[in-house]
Structure 1
Amino acid sequence: MSVKIISRAEWGAKPWDNDPRSSGPASVALTSRTEWFVHYDGATPITRTGFAIPRAIEAEHLANGWAGIGYNFVVDQAGNAYEGRGWGRQGAHCPGHNVSGLSVQIAVGGDQEPTPAALATARALYDEACERTGRTLAPKGHRDGIATLCPGSRLYAWVQAGMPAQGYMPAPTPGGSLPGGGEVARYQVTIGGLVYGYGAVGAHVTRVGEELVARGFGRHYTSGPGPVWTDADTLCYADFQRSLGYSGADADGVPGETSLKKLLGTLPTTAAKTTAAPPPFPGRRHFRPGQSNAYVTQLGRQLVAKGYGRFYKQGPGPTWTENDRKNTEAFQRAQGWRGADADGYPGPETWRRLFA
């Protein structure tokens, strides 16, 4: 697989270090890469489009004193991928991980919803990175490397779920075939509300792989099981099915309820989703300069959880400060409010949306 990447020259990047004689950031061998970091743009939703996105990031990073754009790649909401540091240069995205980690910034901010096109391109870049390095890179959010809110709650949940992408299937895993030849099964089944088979994504997929390895059925894995079901998972599962006495279509590597229960001991199910009602709004009088109470701390922690804590220097506290007001204003503006509706002081509707 190869992702179409818009080159630095095409989107109009400045010469490295803003000096035509500069060779740019240090080169890094792909064999040194073990991690894949996902970033976002911060607390404010992105309204720029096209080439304006990497150019704005570049300007900010140059102002930081970096050689140029610090991410290896940037992906916009249309699904376009832009070259930053590219495959072969040291990044400037996460201290301590700029050599071991490749990075992508998905150009969203705050609680802005990434588009399916953006997620599909970011996922395709990750798979190409794994292919180029010859290993399964550990998918991480920026906050897994340093203390930060990045990549925001939405993208971090996406990373933890295995970076699923609508309409996107991972590249076939090379090596291995079914006994007697034939194509490896590429269909899916749903058991207990969870999807299994080629292209399925989630922690439940990792669990199946880890249990297969623990039982001695992991010979087709080249870098260990992960959260995306590949041909290697199918081949390993087929070995397990044959050990139970199954054959033919019953041992094609796609789980059935009986074999899955024998592997795991019980059938996993999706947890029922419940939506808790927001706590009652305590009243405006609790959110004024100099006020100290538990409601201020509660508000601040929820702002941070939603990705609107960039003005805090040491985290939210019990005393209302200008930083609380600025973070609340950023959240209000993200709702599309302006003027007096976005003055930074919470009202009942701000409170309800914040805790929704």
Structure 2
Amino acid sequence: MAIDLVSRADWGARAPRGSYTNLTSTKGIKVHYTGGRVDPAIVNDHAKCVAMVKSIQSFHMDGNGWLDIGYSMAACPHRKVFVGRGPGHLPAANGPGLNSGHYAVLGLVGNSGLVKPPDGMLDGIVDAIEYLRDKGGAGKEIKGHRDGYSTDCPGAALYEWVKKGAPRPGGQPGPTDPDPVRHPRFPGRLLKYPPVMRGEDVRTWQAQMDKRGWTIDVDGAYGPGSREVCRDFQQEQRLGVDGVVGKITWDAAWEAPIG
């Protein structure tokens, strides 16, 4: 089943107050719950899910003073996944100094009322994890908010599920491997110019671009020539054109079809 996304326009999100801080990759995902009471009636009324996500955004913006809702995505009992800040953007919900390490995915359960996530919500959280891996460079880690931050979040029931590896309901496998070993793994640093960056990771990427037919010096030095090849390749593949080899551009060098 493809992910059932609820776009920001569809749930009536307010516009953010400013520009997001961008992310090219993270260690993985941190799972959250609301921390308050969730009306069990949301299980039978999706409109209540929409209203809850809107109220969370208002609290984060008007109460916390954040530029937007703090979560990357949110999953409801109906296996629908709300786009919060979305992939490629720094969340705000993980805690000071912890947001760049993981995206934040909310399950619409609380500490009273609806406290046990229904199967549709668990599937939705897994759908969100796989989406953030595919679109946002999220790594393998699946953690609870409490891992590294003093909080009860994401609650006992959801945290036990997280500790089991976030399996899908009914014994189905959990999230797919975000980075199966099909090619050299992204080195973890952005390759960019200026200044000239040197290393075996640069040489590896240059050698692959040379194999793809680009005219490039395979010398392990990422300078203006490499940047121009990167820009042309990004434009060809309809990626963000910035001349920087991040995880998406790195993976595309091996995975994108040639010609």
The equivalent residue for 1:342 is none
1:138–1:80 distance in 2 versus 1, CA, 3 Å: same
Task: Tell me the amino acid that sits aligned with residue 50 of structure 2.
Answer: F
Alignment of 1:116-135 (within 5 A): 116-132=119-135
Task: Tell me the amino acid that sits aligned with residue 72 of structure 1.
Answer: S
Alignment of 1:151-162 (within 5 A): 151-162=154-165
Kindly indicate whether residue 103 of structure 2 is the aligned counterpart of residue 102 of structure 1.
Answer: yes
Alignment of 1:1-356 (within 5 A): 3-17=3-17, 22=18, 24-29=19-24, 31=25, 33-47=26-40, 48=42, 49-62=48-61, 63-94=63-94, 95-110=96-111, 112-132=115-135, 136-167=139-170, 168-169=172-173
- Paired residues of 1:25 and 1:90 also in contact (CA < 8 A): yes
The alignment's TM-score, normalised by the length of structure 1, stands at: 0.44
% same residue: 30
SS of corresponding position for 2:55: helix
1:5–1:171 distance in 2 versus 1, CA, 3 Å: same
The alpha-carbon deviation at position 78 of structure 1 amounts to 1.4
- Paired residues of 1:43 and 1:109 also in contact (CA < 8 A): yes
- Paired residues of 1:71 and 1:93 also in contact (CA < 8 A): yes
2: CA distance, partners of 1:134 / 1:64: 28
Task: Tell me the amino acid that sits aligned with residue 28 of structure 2.
Answer: E
SS of corresponding position for 1:143: coil
The alpha-carbon deviation at position 173 of structure 1 amounts to 6.1
Instruction: Give the unaligned 5+ runs of structure 2.
Output: 43-47, 186-259
The alpha-carbon deviation at position 131 of structure 1 amounts to 3.5
Instruction: Give the unaligned 5+ runs of structure 1.
Output: 177-218, 224-356
Question: Which whole-Å deviations, capped at 9, do the CAs of 1:62-117 have from their partners, x for residues lacking one?
Answer: 12100111000011111111011100211111122212211110000116111101
Task: Tell me the amino acid that sits aligned with residue 20 of structure 2.
Answer: P
Task: Tell me the amino acid that sits aligned with residue 38 of structure 1.
Answer: V
The alpha-carbon deviation at position 26 of structure 1 amounts to 1.5
Task: Tell me the amino acid that sits aligned with residue 103 of structure 1.
Answer: A
Task: Tell me the amino acid that sits aligned with residue 60 of structure 1.
Answer: F
The alpha-carbon deviation at position 53 of structure 1 amounts to 1.9
SS of corresponding position for 2:86: coil
The alignment's TM-score, normalised by the length of structure 2, stands at: 0.60
Task: Tell me the amino acid that sits aligned with residue 107 of structure 1.
Answer: L
1: CA distance, partners of 2:178 / 2:100: 27
- Paired residues of 1:41 and 1:106 also in contact (CA < 8 A): yes
1: CA distance, partners of 2:178 / 2:144: 28
The equivalent residue for 2:210 is none
SS of corresponding position for 1:34: strand
1:136–1:222 distance in 2 versus 1, CA, 3 Å: farther
2: CA distance, partners of 1:100 / 1:140: 11
1:110–1:87 distance in 2 versus 1, CA, 3 Å: same
The alpha-carbon deviation at position 175 of structure 1 amounts to 10
Task: Tell me the amino acid that sits aligned with residue 97 of structure 1.
Answer: L
SS of corresponding position for 1:60: helix
SS of corresponding position for 2:30: strand
- Paired residues of 2:29 and 2:104 also in contact (CA < 8 A): yes
- Paired residues of 2:32 and 2:104 also in contact (CA < 8 A): yes
1: CA distance, partners of 2:176 / 2:125: 18
SS of corresponding position for 2:38: coil
The equivalent residue for 1:298 is none
Q: Highest CA radius of gyration, 1 or 2?
A: 1
The equivalent residue for 2:233 is none
- Paired residues of 1:127 and 1:170 also in contact (CA < 8 A): no
Task: Tell me the amino acid that sits aligned with residue 71 of structure 1.
Answer: Y
1:146–1:172 distance in 2 versus 1, CA, 3 Å: closer
- Paired residues of 1:72 and 1:86 also in contact (CA < 8 A): yes
1:115–1:221 distance in 2 versus 1, CA, 3 Å: farther
Count of equivalent residues: 174
The alpha-carbon deviation at position 157 of structure 1 amounts to 0.5
